[in-house]
Structure 1
Amino acid sequence: MTMLSTNSGNEPTQTVSSRARTLWTACAAHALHDGYTDLIYLLLPIWQAEFALGYGALAFLRGLAAASMAGLQVPMGHLAERIGGRATLALGTALAAIGYVIAGYSGGLVGLCVALVVVGCGLSTQHPIASAAVSRAYQGDARGPLGTYNFSGDIGKAAIPSGASLLLAFMSWHHMLWALAVLGAIVAVAVAIFLPANLRPVAAEPKAAHGSSGARGGFALLLSIGILDSSVRMGFLTFLPFLLKEQGASLSTIGQALALVFIGGAAGKFACGWLGARFGVLATVLLTEAGTAAAILAVLALPLAGILVLLPVVGVQLNGTSSVLYGTVPELVPPGRTEKAFAVFYTGTIGAGATAPILFGFLGDAVGSHGAIMATALTAVVILPLAIALAPRLPATEAGGQN
């Protein structure tokens, strides 16, 4: 009879292997899906020039993808329960790639609308399935792997728009989208091959309750902060390419600028994760949101060279809060409801990412891009009192950090 080898911690090697495969496959899917999501920001100025679209129409295009992605988070989780997470994630990844193929063939606004709805439907599979898979694989030890998983999304945000801007130097945007669709097909195949089909969770450690009424109220406040934080981030990123274009930036420069923001965002997730553990959620959120407002206002006042220098700092502030918020979700829900809480949280934050750019877009049509960007800074300021209200509802270790 074949013996099952074990590692130094007496844990079956097969389990360790399944965990690693789950984590790295989820990371690959997250990188692609987040890169696909933020590729739209690079495309908006191109579509504006080609199809003569206003800010409201462009924000509507961005909102179509985000709305379909947000609205299907929970249904895709239910679909995964029926046909399996691996099949759902692989099919969703392939569907997102097909959506960009359709976009490449589009000759007008209607075709782009259809394409972006298809893209959003495919992208809706990743967050609930991949994050739940990592959570199930590592259970009580999932905070670190989930941090790695979240960081991988920022790698995709930096790499795919930047790579796309380089491809635009050699080919049209239509051919660029078809090339990136091939990458999506490769990742879909990798998910189908490498993501374990029937990953069994290890035993979960009991978690101390923080009081049901406090947890419910705390989660609602946390969700509100997440919605506003996502609104600031998506609203600013929607208008950043146009601000850069007004300053004389080329498409290649715009792509590199977006990469600078996302690289800063990746660093922000690491830095703010440490700050959250050391100083607590309240201090970290106050720091990042006040910093976000200040950085956005500075971007409005600087010339192009100064903006490019500042953008990594802007990225740190924009993305830093989200890493703290995601890590706090399990602390505010009863044991056994973490996956549902993540689905609700992602639905709210991604939904805000769909609707806020539309509102900011119409505001931009009325008062100009500078006025709309200034409104995103004011929205960041609104988060500060909500964070203060959330602090008493957090566990002591989360609210005040380490002593």
Structure 2
Amino acid sequence: MTDAPAPAPPLPDRDWRIIGLIGTGHFLSHFYMLCLAPLFPIWREEFGVSYAVLGLSVALMAAITGLLQTPVGFLVDRHGARPFLVGGTLLMALSIAAMALAPNYWVVLGLAITSGIGNSVIHPADYAILGSSIGERRMGRAFAMHTFTGNLGFAAAPLAIGLMTQTLGLGWRPALLAAGLAGVPVVAAIVLQSRILRDQARPKKHAAPLGREVLLSRTMLMFFAFFLLSSMAGVGVQSFLIAMLDKLWATPLAVASLTLTGYVMGATGGVLIGGWYADRYASHFTFVTALTALSITLLLAIGLLPLPDAALPVVALVAGGALGASRTPRDVMVKHAAPPGQMGKVFGFISSGLPLGSAITPVPFGLMLDHGVPWLVMPTVAALLVASLFCAGTARGGALRAARVPAPSPLPAE
């Protein structure tokens, strides 16, 4: 039976303001994660350190962010998300701004750690606020915009830093100072508008399983694995697609770069399609499965068939779009599985699989290229995505059994 779509009215002004506030903070979070790497050549000369040491700044920021998300999630559930969102965003922004005054690289490294501490607040606080402040029938679009603004932050960071340091000739210190201080008005806006940001309702004592009981349940562990494996697959494509095409088919660098750009653009824009779908239909897992299967097929074609140069960017665009569109229903599935009042810890724990997956992937995929088996890259990506679907299905089944309800029926039209 096909769910009949119904046109939805425009989001109320209040919902747009909430999505805008949370989305802007998420943009900054991703922007700050990627704004240091473009400065590595400059820092190498100025501070006299190796690229390996420079890489520690990004690695530590990501590691601290991932490791602290779960404990921060417990605090968000206990004390409310708004103060943590304000404090975390401010700490993140001021840490980046303070790097402009750093006398040596070790101060930069310390500030990268403090920025990571601030960044660890974003996912648990954002999802707790969105889950409580946005109407259920608009949750998919809210989550989609959250992911979309984060992706824009990743895309904007190298461009903005390059523009300020190279085109405008500001130097790296004014560039980082400007980037960091840009977060201050965002924090001020969150504070001034905080009355429209709702904290999740706290459950009655013993009304639901608490703490580690929730996170160590089979359902949540499977969702964590879903996020982890999806991240491993996605980073494998983004990090090694160009090198794989070169080694397999001697694809020109310009074509390979355009192919990667197509994949990233598709993945970024696809989340908005997924948000639209998630708000109109209840068959989220079926949607995720179908689109992931399409993406697997197209990625295998890129890695195993000598496609024409003109076709590569188009195939990659569709593959990325399919995978991106599957991501928002995934987030909504997690939201529905989270016990009342515990979205902070649930999303903090599950989304920590994303940076962990990013950390695991590069070495094994790099070894495939080093040992002359680049044809293994896309089949490995495909295997990771298939495994992620198995984990998603297991998690969904566990959530339905825990709720003791049948599979969800289509949502009524708005």
Using structure 2 for the length normalisation, give the TM-score.
Answer: 0.68
On the 8 A contact 2:300/2:382 being kept in 1, the answer is: yes
Distance 1:47 1:308 in 2: 34
* Equivalent AA in structure 2 for residue 155 of structure 1: L
Between 283-292 and 194-203, report the one with greater CA deviation. Answer: 194-203
How far is the alpha carbon of 1:129 from its aligned partner? 1.0
* Equivalent AA in structure 1 for residue 87 of structure 2: L
Give the aligned partner of residue 194 of structure 2: 195
Distance 1:320 1:183 in 2: 30
Change (3 A) 1:199 1:221: closer
Change (3 A) 1:242 1:164: farther
Paired residue secondary structure (1:196)? helix
Give the aligned partner of residue 69 of structure 1: 65
Distance 2:379 2:350 in 1: 23
Identity of aligned residues (%): 21
On the 8 A contact 1:59/1:361 being kept in 2, the answer is: no
* Equivalent AA in structure 2 for residue 356 of structure 1: I
* Equivalent AA in structure 1 for residue 222 of structure 2: L
On the 8 A contact 1:89/1:129 being kept in 2, the answer is: yes
1:341 to 2:342 alignment: no
Distance 1:102 1:309 in 2: 43
Match of 1:288 among 289, 295, 311: 295
Give the aligned partner of residue 86 of structure 1: 82
Give the aligned partner of residue 331 of structure 2: 326
On the 8 A contact 2:140/2:276 being kept in 1, the answer is: no
On the 8 A contact 2:224/2:350 being kept in 1, the answer is: yes
Give the aligned partner of residue 233 of structure 2: 232
Between 31-40 and 318-327, report the one with greater CA deviation. Answer: 318-327
Give the aligned partner of residue 174 of structure 2: 175
* Equivalent AA in structure 2 for residue 223 of structure 1: F
How far is the alpha carbon of 1:232 from its aligned partner? 3.3
* Equivalent AA in structure 2 for residue 99 of structure 1: S
How far is the alpha carbon of 1:136 from its aligned partner? 0.9
The runs of 5 or more residues in structure 1 that have no matched partner are 1-15, 205-211
Q: Within 5 Å, which residues of 2 pair with 1:93-108? A: 93-106=89-102
CA RMSD between the two structures:
4.8
Between 192-201 and 171-180, report the one with greater CA deviation. Answer: 192-201
Change (3 A) 1:193 1:40: same
Distance 2:311 2:163 in 1: 22
Distance 1:48 1:399 in 2: 58
Change (3 A) 1:187 1:290: farther
Give the aligned partner of residue 116 of structure 1: 112
Paired residue secondary structure (2:35)? helix
On the 8 A contact 2:125/2:344 being kept in 1, the answer is: no
Give the aligned partner of residue 149 of structure 1: 146
Change (3 A) 1:242 1:388: closer
How far is the alpha carbon of 1:259 from its aligned partner? 7.8
Distance 1:309 1:46 in 2: 36
How far is the alpha carbon of 1:60 from its aligned partner? 4.0
Give the aligned partner of residue 221 of structure 1: 222
Instruction: Give CA deviations for 1:4-55 in whole Å, capped at 9, x if unaligned.
Output: xxxxxxxxxxxx776554332112211221222233454456656775645x
Instruction: Give CA deviations for 1:300-336 in whole Å, capped at 9, x if unaligned.
Output: 9999x99888775565366444334212213444555
On the 8 A contact 1:223/1:345 being kept in 2, the answer is: yes
Change (3 A) 1:286 1:362: closer
Change (3 A) 1:189 1:236: farther
Give the aligned partner of residue 356 of structure 1: 360
Change (3 A) 1:315 1:175: farther
Change (3 A) 1:22 1:105: same
How far is the alpha carbon of 1:119 from its aligned partner? 1.8
Change (3 A) 1:71 1:287: same
Paired residue secondary structure (1:280)? helix
How far is the alpha carbon of 1:179 from its aligned partner? 1.6
What is the count of residue pairs matched by the alignment?
A: 370
Instruction: Give CA deviations for 1:46-80 in whole Å, capped at 9, x if unaligned.
Output: 656775645x6565433211111112223334444
Paired residue secondary structure (2:352)? helix
* Equivalent AA in structure 1 for residue 360 of structure 2: A
Distance 2:307 2:45 in 1: 25
1:268 to 2:264 alignment: no
Distance 1:333 1:399 in 2: 19
Give the aligned partner of residue 11 of structure 1: none
How far is the alpha carbon of 1:169 from its aligned partner? 1.8
